Structure 1
Amino acid sequence: MWILVLAALLMFFLGFAVHRLGWHSLISGYNTMEQERKDRVDIKSVARLIGIMAYGIGVIFLLIAAIEAFRLNIPLEPLFIALLLFVVVTLWRAQKYDGNIFDESGRLRPDGKKRLIPLAIVSVLLLTVIPGLMLWFSQPTEVTLTESALVIEGAYGQTVPYDDMTAVTLTSFPGVERRQNGSATSSRLTGNFRTIYKEDVLLFINRDVGPVIRIDWSGKPIYLNLETEQATRALYEEVVNR
């Protein structure tokens, strides 16, 4: 949470520095232009847009931090999607103030399309790769029981040999204090987290399903459940009977 707050404050500072203080050298691309090309850029309009973008990113970071701090049951995915769209739209709008791309009448210069290719590539990556990762992390946990181990498929997957298990319990999840290296979507927690009891654990949790299985073994404690309470209880019975 505090990382998000600090990131928001940094965004507010950068936005103010570019928009109000005239620190235009902070604008990527503009700071490396030759003076002749800089003279064709309406830098005040670009700086205003970049400042607004930084302020907006800061506000979204604070909203996410508040949701995590108060443990509100509000999905984060729409905020991340809004953030991506906001950034992409702002960057594209800023291009119309670049006289190296558009002439005085607003038409593309002969080499304007070539100059827009890097931005187009970045936009496609932002709007496909990141939502794709979010979709991947939101997929249900897949668990396979082999003759010698419990295998958790997908991101942060683990193979847990039965001989390494010291305890398997059906319990309720104690709650998360903070995420260390993992994914938190509206209904799923996947990866490395710290619980409210200051314990570092590995989670494969659907928060909409009540009971969870806790596995203590030679590695980090694991909490997992399946898509229904019935399926989770059935998996628990299978594991303890191995």
Structure 2
Amino acid sequence: MLIVAIILSLIFGSLGFIVTINNAKYLLSGYNTMSEADRAKMDIAGYLRFFKRFHIFLSVTLLAGVLLLYLFNHNWASSYMVLYPLLAYAYLLAKGNTFYRGTSGQKSGTYIGIAILLVVIIAVGSGMFTSLKNSEIVVTESQLEIRGAYGIKIPKADLTNVSVVKQLPAISIKTNGFAAGDYAKGSFRTTEGRKVKLFVNKEAPPFLLLNTREDEIYYSSDEVSSNDLYKKIKKWQKE
């Protein structure tokens, strides 16, 4: 996470220096699609001064915020790293309109862009709120279900082995899942090339390992002991 935050911070900081008055008509989104008449109505020099200050501030506060929050809660740090830049860019779009002295139609397009961005922020925030929680294991007479984001159902007859392991396999890539803060959920690939499914709070070892005919599934939660779940599932298998 910290490496990603540093990379994002460097990218945002660099943007403030890359876009200049000489190349804005090629690089600056929105401005590069304006007609020459509309560009004449834009205080591009003033906007670029604001654009530079904005990105330098975003770069510094993004990295500082992630580092500070990481000391207290990894999940807060992950949420901040994702949502803060989106909110910041909504402000950039709104503030950018004040540098344009043209028609209201051109400004309306910006407001639509802001509205779309806010919808994205709400959707992403809601998704993170759902995913940054422990998954729940529920056992019924015929199946074991892992509920929550990327949840799965395992028929009793398909469960071939249950064990408890001290650590997770080394993961190389996420193929279809979520990984942020302390949580990893969904499908991943190990450095050895194996496909695995994770429903884990990485700060809550040991991990319950469920093997089926097709899947290798790891589970952990800070709300329930993996050892207790192991005993419960083994008893359930015998019933």
Q: Normalised by the shorter chain, which TM-score bucket?
A: 0.7 to 0.9
Moved more, 172-181 or 3-12: 3-12
Deviation, 1:162, is 2.2
TM-score of the two chains, using structure 1 as the length reference: 0.74
The residue identity in structure 1 corresponding to 2:184 is L
Deviation, 1:168, is 0.9
User: In the alignment, which residue of structure 1 is the partner of 2:88?
Assistant: 86
Deviation, 1:222, is 0.7
Higher helix share: 2
Deviation, 1:54, is 5.9
User: In the alignment, which residue of structure 1 is the partner of 2:223?
Assistant: 228
Instruction: Write out aligned runs for 1:208-219 (5 A).
Output: 208-219=203-214
**Which of 158, 169, 175 is equivalent to 2:163?**
169
Distance in 2 between residues matched to 1:227 and 1:184, nearest whole Å: 17
User: In the alignment, which residue of structure 1 is the partner of 2:154?
Assistant: 160
User: In the alignment, which residue of structure 2 is the partner of 1:105?
Assistant: none
Question: Is the Cα–Cα contact under 8 Å of residues 192 and 200 in structure 1 kept in the other structure?
Answer: yes
Question: Is the Cα–Cα contact under 8 Å of residues 135 and 149 in structure 2 kept in the other structure?
Answer: no
Question: Is the Cα–Cα contact under 8 Å of residues 60 and 83 in structure 1 kept in the other structure?
Answer: no
The residue identity in structure 1 corresponding to 2:78 is L
User: In the alignment, which residue of structure 1 is the partner of 2:139?
Assistant: 145
Paired residues in the alignment total: 231
Deviation, 1:239, is 1.7
**Are 1:40 and 2:41 counterparts?**
yes
Unmatched 5+ residue regions in structure 2?
A: 68-72
Distance in 1 between residues matched to 2:161 and 2:215, nearest whole Å: 12
Instruction: Tell me the SS of whatever aligns to 2:162.
Output: strand
TM-score of the two chains, using structure 2 as the length reference: 0.74
User: In the alignment, which residue of structure 2 is the partner of 1:24?
Assistant: 25
- Give the fraction of aligned pairs with identical amino acids, expressed as a percent: 24
Distance in 1 between residues matched to 2:109 and 2:20, nearest whole Å: 24
Distance 1:221 1:53, change over 3 A: farther
Moved more, 127-136 or 22-31: 22-31
Distance 1:173 1:194, change over 3 A: farther
Distance in 2 between residues matched to 1:234 and 1:114, nearest whole Å: 58
Distance 1:193 1:19, change over 3 A: farther
**Are 1:201 and 2:196 counterparts?**
yes
Question: Is the Cα–Cα contact under 8 Å of residues 21 and 45 in structure 2 kept in the other structure?
Answer: no
Moved more, 180-189 or 170-179: 170-179
Question: Is the Cα–Cα contact under 8 Å of residues 19 and 51 in structure 1 kept in the other structure?
Answer: no
**Are 1:186 and 2:188 counterparts?**
no
Deviation, 1:158, is 1.1
Moved more, 11-20 or 83-92: 11-20
Distance in 2 between residues matched to 1:3 and 1:80, nearest whole Å: 11
The alignment yields a C-alpha RMSD, in angstroms, of: 3.8
Distance 1:3 1:78, change over 3 A: closer
The residue identity in structure 2 corresponding to 1:214 is L
Unmatched 5+ residue regions in structure 1?
A: 67-72, 102-108
Deviation, 1:13, is 6.5
Runs of 4+ in 1 over 4 A off after TM superposition: 1-16, 48-64, 195-198
Instruction: Tell me the SS of whatever aligns to 1:166.
Output: strand
Deviation, 1:41, is 0.7
**Which of 99, 102, 116 is equivalent to 1:122?**
116
